[in-house]
Amino acid sequence: MINLANKKILVTGAQGFLGHFLLEELKKAGATNIVTPSIEEADLTKLEDVKRVVKDVEIIIHLAAKVGGIGFNREKPGELFYDNIMMGIPLMEEARKAGVKKFVALGTICAYPKFTPVPFKEDDIWNGYPEETNAPYGLAKKMLLVQSQAYRQQYGFNAVTLFPVNLYGPHDNFDPRSSHVIPALIKKVFEAREANAPTVEVWGTGKASREFLYVQDAARGIVMATKKYDKSDPVNLGSGMEITIKDLIETIVRLMQYKGKLVWDTTKPDGQPRRMLDTSRARKEFGFKAEVQFEQGLKQTIEWYEKHHHELPH
């Protein structure tokens, strides 16, 4: 088990949604020397910046990613592939060369094949091509798993790869051009409620299912893996719950006391048909189990948005 108290830790993407909570959890675990370069201070797609940030670092937690919802993935697949590959692969290589002791890579649930038996087991990750709309992003992040396994085999480099499910919570990205499903729906319902609009339009059929993990739980899981997990086998981070998009939006409508009707735009895609993880490996290997109940987490996310919506991009 690694004691984080006196280690120099680099967190990429620390300014993001998950980063905000990860820094809190690292501090709770005793970490005091955390380096968190912003994109202005270090562009991780540029090799000279990567070489500079890995110097004298003992642990790297790589959260930085270019991400977005279905619309963004359809518009910018090339950018999503290139930027995510270029932020990850050279970073691990330069970390190895600089003598970094541990590298924790965050993959994505989008790396799983489109038709994976539910619940998704880590061993199924190579059994097919990902869902087309997010395959370029998913595969770019999946290459970190290949790299971590190859580097452990050849160089004895301690890299681990975690695959978190869809995250949600306060401080999420509510920008409609790039937000994921929960913040996008909360924003839609909020605006309809405030405008007394009679309907809210939702993409797809509502039949697709998703699993969601509260962001603070995810941050706790990452810290537990950083301290205790030292193998190349990928590990899912999830809550082990599954909810259809229809049930999700109906829960949001109820919690936000919106009285209008839902209208389904079935010309829009559902994305992957079902998503739910097998979370037993995380429990077995480093004792991680989600703690925040879904409805409780959803309430906290809605309350945060209602309080801060005027400060966010529209």
Cite the beta strand spans of the chain per DSSP E: 8-12, 33-35, 59-62, 102-106, 159-164, 166-168, 199-203, 209-210, 212-214, 235-237, 243-244, 261-265
Report if residue 216 sits inside a domain. yes
Report if residue 42 sits inside a domain. yes
Report if residue 194 sits inside a domain. no
| Domain hosting residue 153, numbered range | 8-169+211-241+274-292
Spatial CB neighbours of 261, under 8 Å, sequence gap ≥ 6 = 198, 199, 200
Mean pLDDT of 182-203: 96
Report if residue 180 sits inside a domain. no
Report if residue 267 sits inside a domain. no
Report if residue 72 sits inside a domain. yes
pLDDT category, 69, cuts 50, 70, 90?
confident
pLDDT in tens, 36-66: 999 999 999 999 999 999 999 999 999 999 8
pLDDT of residue 135: 94
Q: Is 287 left (phi over 0), alpha (psi -120 to 50) or beta?
A: left
Report if residue 87 sits inside a domain. yes
pLDDT of residue 306: 98
Spatial CB neighbours of 253, under 8 Å, sequence gap ≥ 6 = 189, 200, 262
pLDDT in tens, 95-133: 999 999 999 999 999 999 988 999 999 999 999 999 898
Pairwise pLDDT comparison (314 vs 206), residue with the higher score = 206
Is pLDDT at 15 greater than 90 in this prediction?
Answer: yes
pLDDT in tens, 146-173: 999 999 999 999 999 999 999 999 999 9
Active site residues: 137
Hunting for tokens 């869809």 — which residue is that? 166
Question: How many structural domains does the chain have?
Answer: 1
Report if residue 248 sits inside a domain. no
Mean pLDDT of 246-274: 94
Mean pLDDT, the chain, integer = 95
Mean pLDDT of 284-290: 98
Question: What CATH number is attached to the domain comprising 29?
Answer: 3.40.50.720
Mean pLDDT of 83-89: 97
d(CA 92, CA 139): 16
pLDDT of residue 198: 97
